[in-house]
Chains A and B, each alone.
Chain A
Protein backbone atom coordinates (compact mmCIF):
# COMPACT_ATOMS: atom_id res chain seq x y z
CA UNK A 1 0.00 0.00 0.00
CA UNK A 2 0.93 3.67 -0.21
CA UNK A 3 3.36 4.99 2.33
CA UNK A 4 3.70 8.44 3.83
CA UNK A 5 4.05 11.07 1.15
CA UNK A 6 5.39 14.60 1.47
CA UNK A 7 5.36 17.57 -0.85
CA UNK A 8 7.19 19.34 -2.20
CA UNK A 9 10.28 17.14 -2.20
CA UNK A 10 12.48 20.24 -2.48
CA UNK A 11 11.76 23.88 -1.70
CA UNK A 12 14.00 26.88 -2.19
CA UNK A 13 12.79 30.14 -0.72
CA UNK A 14 14.09 33.57 0.13
CA UNK A 15 14.67 34.68 3.67
CA UNK A 16 11.54 36.27 5.10
CA UNK A 17 9.06 34.34 2.96
CA UNK A 18 6.50 31.91 4.35
CA UNK A 19 6.50 28.24 3.34
CA UNK A 20 4.02 25.40 3.67
CA UNK A 21 5.06 21.77 3.77
CA UNK A 22 2.52 19.01 3.30
CA UNK A 23 2.31 15.50 4.70
CA UNK A 24 -0.10 12.77 3.62
CA UNK A 25 0.01 9.99 6.22
CA UNK A 26 -0.77 6.35 5.65
CA UNK A 27 -4.52 5.94 5.43
CA UNK A 28 -6.06 5.14 8.78
CA UNK A 29 -3.03 6.17 10.85
CA UNK A 30 -4.23 8.25 13.78
CA UNK A 31 -0.87 9.60 14.90
CA UNK A 32 1.25 12.02 12.89
CA UNK A 33 4.66 13.46 13.72
CA UNK A 34 6.90 16.15 12.25
CA UNK A 35 10.66 16.03 12.69
CA UNK A 36 13.47 18.19 11.39
CA UNK A 37 16.89 16.95 10.32
CA UNK A 38 19.64 19.53 10.05
CA UNK A 39 23.42 19.28 9.90
CA UNK A 40 24.04 20.97 13.18
CA UNK A 41 21.20 19.51 15.26
CA UNK A 42 20.62 16.01 13.95
CA UNK A 43 17.08 14.72 13.87
CA UNK A 44 14.73 16.49 16.28
CA UNK A 45 11.05 16.31 17.11
CA UNK A 46 8.79 19.22 16.21
CA UNK A 47 5.12 18.37 16.79
CA UNK A 48 2.83 15.36 17.32
CA UNK A 49 -0.86 14.89 16.54
CA UNK A 50 -2.90 12.05 18.01
CA UNK A 51 -6.51 11.73 16.92
CA UNK A 52 -8.62 14.61 18.19
CA UNK A 53 -6.35 15.38 21.13
CA UNK A 54 -4.53 18.67 21.47
CA UNK A 55 -1.20 18.39 19.63
CA UNK A 56 2.11 18.15 21.45
CA UNK A 57 3.89 21.27 20.23
CA UNK A 58 6.80 21.04 22.63
CA UNK A 59 9.41 20.66 19.88
CA UNK A 60 8.52 23.72 17.81
CA UNK A 61 11.60 25.98 17.90
CA UNK A 62 9.79 29.32 17.70
CA UNK A 63 6.37 30.87 17.18
CA UNK A 64 7.19 31.17 13.48
CA UNK A 65 6.46 27.45 13.24
CA UNK A 66 2.94 26.07 13.28
CA UNK A 67 1.18 22.96 12.05
CA UNK A 68 -2.33 21.76 11.58
CA UNK A 69 -3.96 18.51 10.74
CA UNK A 70 -7.25 18.69 8.94
CA UNK A 71 -9.85 15.97 9.23
CA UNK A 72 -7.42 13.72 11.05
CA UNK A 73 -5.48 13.11 7.86
CA UNK A 74 -3.33 15.56 5.91
CA UNK A 75 -1.03 17.83 7.86
CA UNK A 76 0.58 21.11 6.89
CA UNK A 77 3.67 22.55 8.58
CA UNK A 78 3.95 26.30 8.09
CA UNK A 79 7.09 28.32 8.66
CA UNK A 80 6.58 32.08 8.66
CA UNK A 81 9.28 34.63 7.89
CA UNK A 82 11.82 31.92 7.11
CA UNK A 83 15.40 32.30 8.32
CA UNK A 84 18.53 30.65 6.96
CA UNK A 85 18.75 28.44 10.06
CA UNK A 86 15.41 26.90 9.04
CA UNK A 87 17.19 25.15 6.17
CA UNK A 88 16.83 21.43 6.86
CA UNK A 89 15.03 18.30 5.81
CA UNK A 90 11.55 18.14 7.31
CA UNK A 91 10.34 14.60 7.87
CA UNK A 92 6.81 13.45 8.57
CA UNK A 93 5.88 10.12 10.13
CA UNK A 94 2.61 8.39 10.88
CA UNK A 95 1.62 5.54 13.15
CA UNK A 96 -1.46 3.42 13.67
CA UNK A 97 -2.15 1.64 16.94
CA UNK A 98 1.20 -0.13 16.72
CA UNK A 99 4.52 1.19 17.91
CA UNK A 100 6.41 1.78 14.69
CA UNK A 101 6.46 5.22 13.07
CA UNK A 102 6.57 5.14 9.28
CA UNK A 103 8.49 7.98 7.72
CA UNK A 104 7.99 9.87 4.50
CA UNK A 105 10.87 10.84 2.18
CA UNK A 106 11.05 14.36 3.57
CA UNK A 107 11.01 17.88 2.20
CA UNK A 108 14.40 19.49 1.71
CA UNK A 109 14.07 23.21 2.51
CA UNK A 110 16.75 25.71 1.54
CA UNK A 111 16.40 29.30 2.69
CA UNK A 112 18.60 31.71 0.77
Chain B
Protein backbone atom coordinates (compact mmCIF):
# COMPACT_ATOMS: atom_id res chain seq x y z
CA UNK B 1 0.00 0.00 0.00
CA UNK B 2 1.36 3.38 -1.04
CA UNK B 3 2.14 5.76 1.82
CA UNK B 4 2.99 9.41 1.30
CA UNK B 5 4.72 11.45 3.99
CA UNK B 6 5.36 15.17 4.15
CA UNK B 7 7.92 16.75 6.42
CA UNK B 8 7.74 19.14 8.13
CA UNK B 9 4.09 19.27 9.11
CA UNK B 10 4.35 23.02 9.64
CA UNK B 11 6.82 25.69 8.64
CA UNK B 12 7.14 29.39 9.46
CA UNK B 13 9.53 31.67 7.60
CA UNK B 14 10.08 35.41 7.22
CA UNK B 15 9.06 36.97 3.93
CA UNK B 16 11.73 36.66 1.25
CA UNK B 17 13.18 33.36 2.41
CA UNK B 18 13.10 30.33 0.13
CA UNK B 19 10.78 27.50 1.10
CA UNK B 20 11.70 23.83 0.85
CA UNK B 21 8.90 21.29 1.27
CA UNK B 22 9.58 17.57 1.28
CA UNK B 23 7.46 14.64 0.16
CA UNK B 24 8.35 10.96 0.28
CA UNK B 25 6.47 7.91 -0.98
CA UNK B 26 7.01 4.23 -0.29
CA UNK B 27 6.17 2.69 -3.69
CA UNK B 28 8.28 4.07 -6.53
CA UNK B 29 5.92 2.64 -9.18
CA UNK B 30 4.07 5.88 -9.74
CA UNK B 31 2.56 7.43 -12.86
CA UNK B 32 2.90 11.03 -11.71
CA UNK B 33 3.27 13.22 -8.65
CA UNK B 34 1.36 16.40 -8.06
CA UNK B 35 1.72 19.33 -5.70
CA UNK B 36 -1.40 21.13 -4.54
CA UNK B 37 -2.11 24.23 -2.50
CA UNK B 38 -5.05 24.44 -0.11
CA UNK B 39 -6.23 27.66 1.49
CA UNK B 40 -8.38 27.50 4.65
CA UNK B 41 -11.94 26.49 3.85
CA UNK B 42 -11.16 26.08 0.17
CA UNK B 43 -10.60 23.23 -2.22
CA UNK B 44 -7.29 22.20 -3.70
CA UNK B 45 -5.46 24.05 -6.46
CA UNK B 46 -3.00 22.13 -8.60
CA UNK B 47 0.44 23.76 -8.65
CA UNK B 48 2.73 21.39 -10.50
CA UNK B 49 2.49 17.92 -12.00
CA UNK B 50 5.59 15.82 -12.65
CA UNK B 51 5.33 12.75 -14.83
CA UNK B 52 7.29 9.71 -13.63
CA UNK B 53 9.74 10.14 -16.53
CA UNK B 54 10.53 13.72 -15.57
CA UNK B 55 13.02 15.06 -13.05
CA UNK B 56 11.51 18.47 -12.41
CA UNK B 57 8.85 21.00 -13.30
CA UNK B 58 8.92 24.76 -12.94
CA UNK B 59 6.23 27.41 -12.81
CA UNK B 60 7.22 30.94 -11.89
CA UNK B 61 8.73 30.92 -8.41
CA UNK B 62 7.84 27.24 -7.94
CA UNK B 63 10.10 24.34 -8.79
CA UNK B 64 9.37 20.72 -8.02
CA UNK B 65 11.88 17.90 -8.36
CA UNK B 66 11.25 14.18 -8.47
CA UNK B 67 13.61 11.33 -7.63
CA UNK B 68 11.42 8.33 -8.28
CA UNK B 69 14.01 5.72 -7.39
CA UNK B 70 14.43 7.10 -3.90
CA UNK B 71 10.75 7.95 -3.52
CA UNK B 72 11.20 11.66 -2.97
CA UNK B 73 9.97 14.97 -4.28
CA UNK B 74 10.82 18.47 -3.18
CA UNK B 75 8.88 21.66 -3.77
CA UNK B 76 10.93 24.85 -3.76
CA UNK B 77 9.25 28.23 -3.50
CA UNK B 78 11.64 31.09 -4.13
CA UNK B 79 11.45 34.46 -2.40
CA UNK B 80 8.40 33.61 -0.31
CA UNK B 81 5.57 36.10 0.10
CA UNK B 82 2.81 36.32 2.73
CA UNK B 83 0.38 35.23 0.00
CA UNK B 84 2.21 31.89 -0.14
CA UNK B 85 0.81 31.05 3.30
CA UNK B 86 -1.30 27.93 2.83
CA UNK B 87 -1.17 24.17 3.22
CA UNK B 88 0.80 22.36 0.54
CA UNK B 89 -0.07 18.77 -0.30
CA UNK B 90 1.72 16.29 -2.47
CA UNK B 91 -0.05 13.34 -4.03
CA UNK B 92 0.93 10.41 -6.22
CA UNK B 93 -0.99 8.49 -8.86
CA UNK B 94 -0.19 4.83 -9.44
CA UNK B 95 -1.62 4.57 -12.94
CA UNK B 96 -3.20 6.90 -15.48
CA UNK B 97 -6.54 8.24 -14.32
CA UNK B 98 -6.38 6.57 -10.95
CA UNK B 99 -6.95 8.01 -7.53
CA UNK B 100 -4.60 10.41 -5.81
CA UNK B 101 -2.86 9.22 -2.66
CA UNK B 102 -2.08 12.26 -0.52
CA UNK B 103 0.49 13.15 2.06
CA UNK B 104 -0.56 14.84 5.27
CA UNK B 105 0.45 18.28 4.04
CA UNK B 106 2.81 21.01 5.19
CA UNK B 107 1.20 24.11 6.67
CA UNK B 108 3.25 27.16 5.67
CA UNK B 109 3.19 30.59 7.27
CA UNK B 110 5.16 33.40 5.66
CA UNK B 111 5.51 36.33 8.05
CA UNK B 112 5.69 39.86 6.62
Contact = CB atoms under 8 A, between A and B. Distances in A.
A2 interface: no
Dominant secondary structure of chain A at its interface with chain B: strand
A33 to B, nearest CB: 7
Interface in B56-109: 89, 91, 93, 96-105
B99 A45 contact: yes
A43 B97 contact: no
A4 B44 CA distance: 11
A58 to B, nearest CB: 8
- Count class of interface residues, chain A: 20 to 34
B98 A91 contact: no
Contacts of B41: 105, 108
Given A42-B105, A43-B89, A4 B100 contact: no
A107 to B, nearest CB: 11
Interface of A: 4, 31, 33, 35, 42-45, 48, 50, 56, 59, 91, 93, 95, 99-106, 108
5 contacts: A4-B43, A33-B99, A43-B91, A102-B46, A106-B42
Interface of B: 32, 34, 36, 41-46, 49, 51, 89, 91, 93, 96-105
